[in-house]
Structure 1
Amino acid sequence: RVDGEGTSAADFGRTFQRQSTPALLQGVMKSWQALQWTVPSFEAAFGHQKMVCDHRFGVRMRMSDFARYMESQDDDTPLYLFDHMFADYASTHHLSEQYSAPDLFAQDILESLGPTLRPPYRWLLIGPSRSGSFLHKDPLGTSAWNALIRGTKLWVMFPPCTPSERLYPAPRPPCSGESAACWFLLWWRRLRSQARQWPAEHHPVEFIQRPGEVVFVPARWWHAVLNLEDTIAVTHNFCSQWNAGDVWRCSAATHPVLARHFRNCLQREHPGLYHEMNEQPPHSSDDPGVSYLSVQEDAPVHENSTEDNVPSSSDEEYLAAVALCSQSKRLRPDQSAPQACAGRLEE
């Protein structure tokens, strides 16, 4: 755990972002109005609003229905409210004004792309116990911060260099889709004992996140998250000077259109970074499967997969999502955002 109040952005960048080291921050949410958020208050304030409750299949539910579902569900794989359009709905826009990015993460180069070209980057997360995120990497080489407001979360993280054959050993345990509970129960139980024999650079990190704490997820780290209780959280993915190279490589490999806009943004706003990366132009991505809308769809579970044959998404996905997200910003207050605009990004 790191005292976020006593750490400067420069020190945190050098110590954690530059070194690609996860951190559990305390004291950076104290001024947030969002600390008052509860499921009952959401139900009372915007119970009629339809929210994205399963980004894999485009399931949408009214907030009031989801609140009742949380109270009574006993599913093995519960629905997880995971909505990146909450700041654009008329009834929930105010939520985005009740918190702010911690000062340690104030720099976000992708913000310079503007609201039209910028990929989805922020999510409201509301999940019952046993919901969560299957093992994955975040897309486009972005880093992330995850702020917990209610409940507790169990995290497991693996360094980027961990071979996929270690993370997905054969025989594979049977899991229902991308069930977080199944991964922790069947996969992590086995991996935890095996990991003791791994080289130090592949050792996982396991910890519990509590209300008021912010998790920093460095670029390209594998992570799985399980909600131990009913939870409310908000997460942002971002690009700083420390992971700009990762974003450059991943976007160039899978989304040349986005990469071109990102390059122009760097040239205009961050010429030093632009010239530094131009000296080593990206020929391929370290993680070609880590793309904008198609994170962890099939790549990690293919038998005998390699970095070179992992399928990746195309620019058509990015352009279609940009168009739909732009359209959603013009919706009337009583309309819902297009389903296809729900980006495939996890915690």
Structure 2
Amino acid sequence: MEPSAIDRAKKSISSAEPLSAWIGPRPQFTPPPTESKSFTIGEQTFVDRCPRLPLENYLDDTHGDSLPQHPAVLLNVCSDWDCFSSPWTISTLSSIVPSTPLSLDGGPGFARGSICFGSVTLPEYARYCKEDAAKDSAPLYVFDHRILSTLSSSFSIPACFSNDVLAGDPRRALPPAWLLVGAEGSGTPIHDHPTTIAWNALLSGCKVWVCFPPDIDESFLLLNLDGENDGDKSVDSSASDDFDLSAIEWFSRCRDLPEGAEVIIQWPGEVVFLPEGWWHVVLNAQESVAISYSIQLQRFNDK
């Protein structure tokens, strides 16, 4: 039998691993009901207490100076976007851009050593979500920056995020804008953006975020993978020594969150704002489509 587009992409991402290495048991969870502010996976329940702030607070702030210093959810950002009023889903996007190969990310730890080395079209990815993603221990997801240039008329950038001091800078490490299309159970492992803020607009589905301040004790990020569990930082002592946990594995192993951590259950139309330096891990609790930007504000240069 001829290998599928996803199988070819997997071999492109990690040629040394057999396709069977991608398949395996994974933590089970029930997608939260619409607009719920809690999410349960294994023995842990994550409760969203993050503030919701209207975009109107920042309409005149073209430099983002008044944006908060902590994670927040901005409301009323997407209300006039075409991609929200006729919401982008995996299915609708597959008909809009049916033949463009899009980059993949995610997967088990061994898969993330070669970012964007695999690609599939959206119809091929939609087929994967429907038929095969549930078999993978950590599903792949679309993480592509090139396609947004052809879709930019479907959304607009809020004024408070319009002044990116890195715009046009050839030294920029990564492109600022990304289209994210994720199967249920896929996600982004723990990482931070040391010098840039991030904003993520969810168009369909549900995402669960856990965010940590820049000065967090790294044992909370690593989940005490050295096995030295202590007190309120206790975790599953069977955790491996692999720091690069997939999002779904991280959520399943997490126990008590430290003071200062923020949980966000993000629903369509909500924009998650993340200040510079905040660590975060994100799980697609439902099939989801989002637009994500990472930009540098002048306020970071002024520090």
**Matched residue type, 1:182:** E
Written as runs of structure 1 = structure 2, the 5 A alignment for 1:19-34 is 20-34=69-83
Q: Deviations over 1:208-259 (max 9, x none)?
A: 01100101110000001011100000001111112235xxxxxxxxxxxxxx
Aligned in 2, Cα 1:212/1:98: closer, same or farther, shift over 3 Å?
Answer: same
**Matched residue type, 2:292:** T
Do the aligned partners of 1:176 and 1:182 also contact (CA within 8 Å) in 2? no
Aligned in 2, Cα 1:121/1:7: closer, same or farther, shift over 3 Å?
Answer: closer
Partner of 1:256: none
Give distance in 2, aligned partners of 1:117 and 1:165.
32
Q: TM-score, normalised by structure 1?
A: 0.60
SS in 2 for 1:155: strand
SS in 2 for 1:76: coil
Give distance in 2, aligned partners of 1:43 and 1:176.
34
Q: 1:95 aligns with which of 142, 147, 151?
A: 151
Is structure 2 residue 240 aligned with structure 1 residue 179? no
Partner of 1:225: 282
Give 1:167 deviation, angstroms: 2.5
Do the aligned partners of 1:146 and 1:233 also contact (CA within 8 Å) in 2? yes
SS in 2 for 1:44: helix
Partner of 2:123: 64
**Matched residue type, 1:111:** A
SS in 1 for 2:210: strand
Do the aligned partners of 1:143 and 1:243 also contact (CA within 8 Å) in 2? no
Give 1:129 deviation, angstroms: 0.9
Give 1:11 deviation, angstroms: 10
Q: Which has the higher strand share?
A: 2
Give 1:181 deviation, angstroms: 0.3
Q: 2:162 aligns with which of 97, 102, 106?
A: 106
Partner of 1:76: 137
In the comparison of the two structures, how many residue pairs are matched?
Answer: 226
**Matched residue type, 2:119:** R
Give distance in 1, aligned partners of 2:192 and 2:62.
25
Gaps of 5+ in 1: 88-92, 246-276, 278-347
Written as runs of structure 1 = structure 2, the 5 A alignment for 1:133-282 is 133-138=188-193, 141-168=195-222, 169=224, 170-171=226-227, 173-174=239-240, 177-186=244-253, 188=254, 190-192=255-257, 195=258, 200=259, 203-244=260-301
Is structure 2 residue 56 aligned with structure 1 residue 5? yes
**Matched residue type, 1:83:** D
Q: Deviations over 1:171-206 (max 9, x none)?
A: 1723695410000001x2x242xx2xxxx5xx2011
Q: Deviations over 1:282-313 (max 9, x none)?
A: xxxxxxxxxxxxxxxxxxxxxxxxxxxxxxxx
Give distance in 1, aligned partners of 2:78 and 2:196.
22
Do the aligned partners of 2:90 and 2:126 also contact (CA within 8 Å) in 1? yes
Q: Deviations over 1:303-329 (max 9, x none)?
A: xxxxxxxxxxxxxxxxxxxxxxxxxxx
Do the aligned partners of 2:58 and 2:67 also contact (CA within 8 Å) in 1? no
Give distance in 1, aligned partners of 2:221 and 2:150.
40
Do the aligned partners of 2:201 and 2:291 also contact (CA within 8 Å) in 1? yes
Q: TM-score, normalised by structure 2?
A: 0.68
SS in 1 for 2:126: helix
Give distance in 1, aligned partners of 2:66 and 2:152.
29
**Matched residue type, 2:266:** Q
SS in 1 for 2:175: coil
Aligned in 2, Cα 1:238/1:130: closer, same or farther, shift over 3 Å?
Answer: same
**Matched residue type, 1:224:** V
Do the aligned partners of 1:157 and 1:221 also contact (CA within 8 Å) in 2? yes
Q: Deviations over 1:142-166 (max 9, x none)?
A: 1110000001111100000112134
Gaps of 5+ in 2: 1-51, 107-111, 228-236
Partner of 1:303: none
Q: 2:98 aligns with which of 47, 53, 59?
A: 47
Do the aligned partners of 2:58 and 2:66 also contact (CA within 8 Å) in 1? no
**Matched residue type, 1:30:** S
Give distance in 2, aligned partners of 1:41 and 1:156.
29
